C-alpha cells in the first residue's frame, strides 16, 4: 500500500508545478507515507493533526459540516490539507507561485484516490 501512496504523491507533484511535496497521515497524526524534501515529515504529520482538530471544530461550530480541506498561506508558500477518506488526510506543501486553483483540483482528486487506496487496504468490513 505504501508504494501506491508514494506513487500518488509523486504523481501529484508531477501534475502541479511548484508543489514542494506532500504526506499522508492519520487524523491522529501518524505518518503513513511522505514525499517531502527539507521538511521533517513526522513533525508535519503531528502538526497536521493539531490543525485538523481546530479546522474540524471550526467547520462544525459554524454549521459548515464535515471537514473537507484547509489552506494556509504563508510568506513563503502554502500548506493545504484535504480529507482522504474518513480516517486520513493529505497535506501538501507548495511554493508561493503555485496556481492555487490547479492545486485544489489535483489535490482533491489525489485525496479521493488515497482515501480509496486506504479503504481497500483495510479489506472488507464486517456487518454486525
Residue that wins the pLDDT comparison between 125 and 76:
76
Complete domains list, the chain, with CATH: 2-121 (3.30.450.30)
Q: What is the pTM of this model?
A: 0.90
For residues 41 and 30, the answer to whether their CB atoms sit within 8 Å is: no
72-103 residue pLDDT tens: 999 999 999 999 998 999 999 999 999 999 99
Amino acid at each position: 500500500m505504501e508504494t501506491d501512496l508514494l506513487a500518488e504523491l509523486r504523481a501529484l507533484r508531477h501534475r502541479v508545478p511548484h508543489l514542494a511535496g506532500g504526506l499522508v497521515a492519520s487524523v491522529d497524526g501518524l505518518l503513513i507515507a511522505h514525499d517531502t524534501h527539507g521538511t521533517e515529515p513526522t513533525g508535519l504529520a503531528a502538526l497536521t493533526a493539531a490543525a485538523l482538530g481546530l479546522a474540524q471544530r471550526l467547520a462544525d461550530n459554524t454549521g459548515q459540516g464535515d471537514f473537507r480541506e484547509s489552506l494556509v498561506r504563508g510568506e513563503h508558500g502554502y500548506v493545504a490539507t484535504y480529507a482522504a477518506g474518513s480516517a486520513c488526510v493529505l497535506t501538501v506543501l507548495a511554493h508561493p507561485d503555485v496556481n492555487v486553483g490547479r492545486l485544489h483540483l489535483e489535490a482533491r482528486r489525489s485525496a479521493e484516490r488515497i482515501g480509496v487506496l486506504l479503504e481497500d487496504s483495510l479489506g472488507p468490513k464486517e456487518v454486525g
